[in-house]
Amino acid sequence: MTDAKPLVVVTGARRGIGAGIALEFAQRGFHVAITDIDAEGSQEVLQAVRSQGVQASFFASDLGDVQGHAALVERIAQWGGPISCLVNNAGIPSPARGDLLEVTPQSFDTVLDVNLRGTFFLTQAVARHMLATTTDHARSIVTVSSVSVEMASIERAEYCLSKSGLGMLTRLFALRLAPHGIGVFEVRPGVIKTPMTGPVAQKYDERIAAGLVPMGRWGFPADVAQAVATLAQGKLGFCTGSVVHVDGGLSLPRL
């Protein structure tokens, strides 16, 4: 591509929150590189993004395969030019909800290898790329974590631990990249209606009706996407390291 639009990379973007983020960036004039572990369902997202008059392409990537990150970044850069923004959205839930005392090492390693280890090393690879290239656009890294960074759910311990680590990841990269003008941010969604929350939708319908979320409704991918894209555009660059809660007040302490 040869035009002057910025390029965003959105991981885990073939559905759910990631798809919403990809579309929001397209509406704001970004070319979009979508990554996910397989291409199933990606055509629908790509068509929606391209309908906004920008370019979009899918790149198969297993976030847990850290050895493949450098090649992924190179493929994306060859397609779309220097990366202006990385959105760390991809992640997996706990394989099964259950007793904290029954969590297995295999389950623990699986979740942390993707959600924390994979995200750390992809962020590292993109940060290196950003420091080695130039662009006229603002540069940023936005990590979509969860209210589970601070709110404990004992039935999905490995997920909470992985998301908690992303809070420190944001602070570390914010400090490292601040001298280079690269903003690093974290967005913490609450209860968002996506395919991932589908299996527990009835449970959350009941809990929201009972007052779990002060705003009295589910969150939607568009809620998260608007926050992420606003942070990414550089207008809040001096706020680097900041956290934005997209949870309808769920995480606010209450009496």
Residue numbers annotated as active site: 159
Q: How far is CA 34 from CA 26, 83, 161, 211, 232, in A?
A: 12, 12, 26, 36, 16
Helix, strand or coil, per DSSP, at residue 180: helix
Listing DSSP states for 223-236 in one string gives HHHHHHHHHHTSTT
Beta strands in 147-234 (DSSP E): 182-189
- Amino acid letter for position 219: G
**What is the bridge-based pairing of β-strands 182-189 and 7-11?**
unpaired
Mark 139-175 as b/e (b = at least 16 C-beta within 10 Å): bbbbbbbbbbbeeeeeebbbbbbbbbbbbebbeebbe
Q: Which amino acid is at 142?
A: V
Q: Distance between CA atoms of 247 and 51, rounded to whole angstroms? A: 29
| Count of C-beta atoms within a 10 Å radius of residue 77 | 18
The encoded tokens of residue 41 equal 């369902």
